[in-house]
Homo-oligomer: A and B are copies of this chain.
């Protein structure tokens, strides 16, 4: 199971973006300063977000990134998948030697982790960027 700061950074950056991209595109430099995330690391993350059609970008002076959809259309699943936080709880295919190969002879706890995975993913599918914006609209930056 993976759920690390890369995913957290991605979500933080996108919330930031959603709040500031209303007029002009937002530069990674600004996000970096506001959120305290390394610029170089942000570039890696946004490269993936762009490939997954979550953000678009404009180059040149005054360029930057903006959301490619409305905040309520961007679910957390989309974001986390984009940056490779798969939320996979088991990989039982490798150890075919004993028990679990995903078919007839599942390991004893296979179903459990499957359930958990569903449980977590449901959570992420319900939450959109919009939801996070609402919770934070009153906050000073």
Question: Are A112 and B35 in contact (CB-based, < 8 A)?
Answer: no
Number of interface residues of A (CB under 8 A): 34
Of A76, A95, A108, A132, chain B has the most CB atoms within 10 Å of the CB of A108
Question: Are B116 and A35 in contact (CB-based, < 8 A)?
Answer: no
Which of A10-18, A21-29, A64-72 forms part of the interface with chain B?
A10-18
Question: Are A135 and B107 in contact (CB-based, < 8 A)?
Answer: no
In Å, the complex CA distance between A120 and B116 comes to 8
A51 at the B interface (CB under 8 A): no
User: What 0/1 readout, one digit per residue, does chain A (23-67) give for beta carbons within 8 Å of chain B?
Assistant: 000000000000110000000000000000000000000000000
A35 neighbours in B (Cβ, 8 Å): 98-99, 107-108
Question: Are A16 and B108 in contact (CB-based, < 8 A)?
Answer: yes
16 contacts between A and B (CB under 8 A): A3-B89, A8-B90, A11-B109, A12-B107, A12-B108, A12-B109, A36-B95, A36-B97, A36-B99, A76-B112, A108-B139, A109-B132, A111-B135, A112-B132, A115-B123, A119-B120
